Structures are given as structure tokens and as C-alpha cells.
Amino acid sequence: MKLGPFFFDTKELFLILLAGLVWLARYFGWEIPLFDLQKLLLLIVLFLLAKGLLPAIHNENFLILAFFTLFLSFYLVELQLVLFFVITLILFRFLKVI
């Protein structure tokens, strides 16, 4: 979808829609079982930044990274999630996966 000078892929549109829904759930105080809403918003922002800064990232690698980061959000605090995400993207770039 092209909106002015910006082009949004379906993944970016889905992430923006998801960010809006999670923000609404946080605003109205709705609970999502097993997940902390602040961690989910942080992950969504990280994924949007990664897709914006690395448009050549392969969908399979991005999906695997998303699943691992989401499952690690059960056990890790926000700073550790950010460190895991950034280190993984650096390793992906270093190993020429992306």
C-alpha cells in the first residue's frame, strides 16, 4: 500500500494495526493472558524499526526471530529482550543471513 512517499507492506500494516489494538487494550485495562502489554508494545516497536531499517530481511528469518523473542518475553525483562533482539540482528548481519 502506497501512502504518499511511504510504501507499507502487509507485515508493516499488520504490526501497526496490532500496535493500535495492544495500545487500546492497555488504555482500557484489558488483560491478555500470559503477556505483559508493555513488553508487547516494546516488541512491536522493535519489529517495526527492524523492518524499516532492514527492508531486505528475509521473511523466514524475521518470523523465527519474532517467535523466539515472543517466547522469551515470558521469562526475560524488557532490557534483556532489547539486548537479545539487537544482538540477534547484528549476528544475522555479521553472518550474512540478512
Q: What is the pLDDT of residues 68-80, one digit of tens each?
A: 888 888 888 888 8
Domain residue limits at 63: 7-94
Q: What is the pLDDT of residue 93?
A: 80
- Give CA–CA dist 2/91, Å, rounded: 32
Q: Report the amino acid identity of residue 48.
A: L
Q: What is the pLDDT of residues 17-57, one digit of tens each?
A: 988 999 999 999 998 888 888 888 888 888 888 877 777 77
The pLDDT-based confidence of 98 (bands split at 50, 70, 90) is low
67 in a domain, yes or no? yes
Stated pTM of the model: 0.76
- Give CA–CA dist 35/46, Å, rounded: 17
Q: Could you tell me if 92 and 86 are in contact, meaning their C-beta atoms sit under 8 angstroms apart? A: no
Residue 5: pLDDT over 80: no
Domain count, the chain: 1
Among 54, 55, 51, 27, smallest CA distance to 41 is for 27
1 in a domain, yes or no? no
